[in-house]
Structure 1
Amino acid sequence: MAYLWNSIVLTRVFGDTCGDRETRVELTSRIVWLEERHAVIIDTPEQTTAKLPCLSARDVKTVIRYYARDTSWPSKRLTRREAERLIEAGISIAVVHQGKGNKPSSFSKPLGRLDGAYARQYAVDVIGQPEGSVIYFAVDYDAGADDVGDLIVEYFIGVKEAFEFAAGMTNHRVGVYGNGLVCQTLLDLGLVAHTWLSQSTGHHGHREFKASGRWSLFQNMPSELCGLDVDIDDLNPRLSEFGSFDRLENPLSPVWTAFRRGAFHELGPESFDEVAIQSSVVKRGGVGLHEGPGLEFQVKQLLIAGTIVRMVRIYGDWALVDLVGDGLIDGAVHRAFLMPTA
């Protein structure tokens, strides 16, 4: 069974023609080692909650999940509920912020400030990420020397400024995911505490930075585990940690906590923008009515396209809505899927 699984992964990743027999044997041996070793670290953009029994059985000890200020794939984002389930299963968590991050236009000092502020706020108010752990920020393309000097460094200066400005919040460290040149430059400048070297061996500075031994994590080629698309990551044998966490802090934001306890009435009007706007659901496939303002809250029901709701209050990107016209809040809908009707 193990050999069959490894053969499938090998074919999926490298195709039917990935070199001579010796190369294939070496690659297969590598995947066998990854499968059979203990304390497996994986990263995945997919929700893991339903797969936790399988992941535990495969000796997964850490799952790296995502924060994202701007993403078209909301399930990519770690939620408090998923974080709780991971820790209950004995699996620690690491996090990386990535919205787009795959092109030069994603990087500048102002964008670094925005992403840094969002990541810190989300870590504290929603997840309860403990002090001293790391938030990695992804540079998911092969940035060359010009982009690194002109854009990437400035972006991470912005992230640093956002972290320093967040007075009163727990103290988190900054990490980077990227090619060797990105990792080395930011480490040399003292802008990051940990580096996560991407799997792309042909990218700028990869071989040199890998050989330097200064990386914290090394990402291996994509594979599949427990029905999830994952990358398996190596911890530098010289290190004992890379910024993961195995507990969650409280309290969270007053709004989140109140919704969690079903105590919305405890919140004062200063927590929200008061509105009274009749709106219509404009998403073709319908939109979820959540128990509270965030993807970490369960979906109570599906509101089909054309459903009329009344936005009662606004909390960030979310509208607290009344479905029956009595002025009471029935749940929360993301405002992107609502359009005023009058």
Structure 2
Amino acid sequence: MVVLTGVKAPFELTQHAIPIKQQGIDFAIRYYSHQAGKNLSLAEARALTDAGIQIGVVWETIGAHLHSFSRAQGLADGAAAYLMAQSVITQPSGSAIYFEVDCHPTAEDIAGPITRYFEGVNQAFNAARPGEPRYQIGIYGSAATCQAIIASGLASLSWLSPSEGAAVLSGGYAGYNLRQLSQSVLPVDDGKKIHVDLARSNDGLPTGLFRVL
């Protein structure tokens, strides 16, 4: 399996799908959230698929607000993310939804509220009826957070935040599935440029990316 290069963007990529593919972009990570303007749409997912770009999704509500993590919040976020994937995007079964922990929690934080948050996400996903899509749960965050939640069985995929680059290079955590890199500027049509975060997959490991029909 080759290493894939991707972008993460908080804005619609429909009109940029072809030019970014021409620049060697293999996948695009977009958002599920309560902010409609930030979210992946079905039309956008189809445009990316048609351009040959795989899609990844990350749920964002809490971000860096550690005090908001709880089992109840995880249950609510998990249910909302699952519904968006199933009913809005028709995301295929077996693909992943990553959940963002965009902070640097202590070991106590990880063992407490963050673990309870992912317990809630799992509860929401497990409530799906037989025959409905089954999605993998991924985690975005620090190496310590990713390792702990993966080890607990509450997520199956991990995506390292950009601050973890040094840890990866020094061999600190080799089991990640995706790794976010630095920000970049890509030229698109009509002389415009877009600001995105670059990302890479880990050779030989699954990513949870998908395409739509």
Query: Structure 2 length normalisation: TM-score?
Result: 0.90
- 1:157 equivalent to 2:123? Answer no
- Please say if residues 13 and 44 of structure 2, whose CA atoms lie closer than 8 Å, have aligned partners that are also in contact: yes
Q: Any stretches of 5+ residues in structure 1 without a counterpart?
A: 1-36, 249-342
SS of equivalent to 1:123 = helix
SS of equivalent to 1:152 = helix
SS of equivalent to 1:211 = coil
Q: Which residue of 1 aligns with 2:204?
A: 238
TM-superposed CA distance for 1:75, in Å, is: 2.2
2:136 corresponds to which letter in structure 1? R
Q: Which residue of 2 aligns with 1:220?
A: 181
2 CA distance for matches of 1:118 and 1:161? 12
SS of equivalent to 1:117 = helix
TM-superposed CA distance for 1:58, in Å, is: 0.4
1 CA distance for matches of 2:96 and 2:4? 19
- Please say if residues 3 and 203 of structure 2, whose CA atoms lie closer than 8 Å, have aligned partners that are also in contact: no
Q: Which residue of 2 aligns with 1:52?
A: 17
2 CA distance for matches of 1:218 and 1:210? 14
Deviates more, 1:222-231 or 1:130-139: 222-231
2 CA distance for matches of 1:234 and 1:200? 14
Distance 1:202 1:219, change over 3 A: closer
TM-superposed CA distance for 1:110, in Å, is: 0.2
TM-superposed CA distance for 1:165, in Å, is: 0.8
* Higher relative contact order, chain-length normalized (CA < 8 Å, sep 6+): 2
SS of equivalent to 1:136 = strand
- 1:177 equivalent to 2:143? Answer no
TM-superposed CA distance for 1:211, in Å, is: 2.8
SS of equivalent to 2:172 = helix
TM-superposed CA distance for 1:208, in Å, is: 9.3
Greater CA radius of gyration, 1 or 2? 1
Q: Which residue of 2 aligns with 1:105?
A: 67
TM-superposed CA distance for 1:142, in Å, is: 1.2
1 CA distance for matches of 2:124 and 2:197? 29
Aligned length: 206
Percent identity between the two aligned chains: 34
- Please say if residues 220 and 231 of structure 1, whose CA atoms lie closer than 8 Å, have aligned partners that are also in contact: yes
Q: Which residue of 2 aligns with 1:265?
A: none
TM-superposed CA distance for 1:210, in Å, is: 5.4
- 1:186 equivalent to 2:152? Answer no
2:135 corresponds to which letter in structure 1? H
1:191 corresponds to which letter in structure 2? L
Structure 1 residues 215-262: Cα deviation after superposition (integer angstroms, max 9, x where no partner): 1111111112232221111211132x30001224xxxxxxxxxxxxxx
- Please say if residues 62 and 92 of structure 1, whose CA atoms lie closer than 8 Å, have aligned partners that are also in contact: yes
Q: Which residue of 1 aligns with 2:76?
A: 114
SS of equivalent to 1:47 = coil
Query: Structure 1 length normalisation: TM-score?
Result: 0.57
- Please say if residues 180 and 209 of structure 1, whose CA atoms lie closer than 8 Å, have aligned partners that are also in contact: no
1 CA distance for matches of 2:165 and 2:108? 18
2 CA distance for matches of 1:76 and 1:150? 29
2 CA distance for matches of 1:62 and 1:170? 22
Structure 1 residues 53-93: Cα deviation after superposition (integer angstroms, max 9, x where no partner): 2112102111010101x33xx32110111111111111110
SS of equivalent to 2:30 = strand
Q: Which residue of 1 aligns with 2:190?
A: none
TM-superposed CA distance for 1:38, in Å, is: 8.2
Q: Any stretches of 5+ residues in structure 2 without a counterpart?
A: 188-192
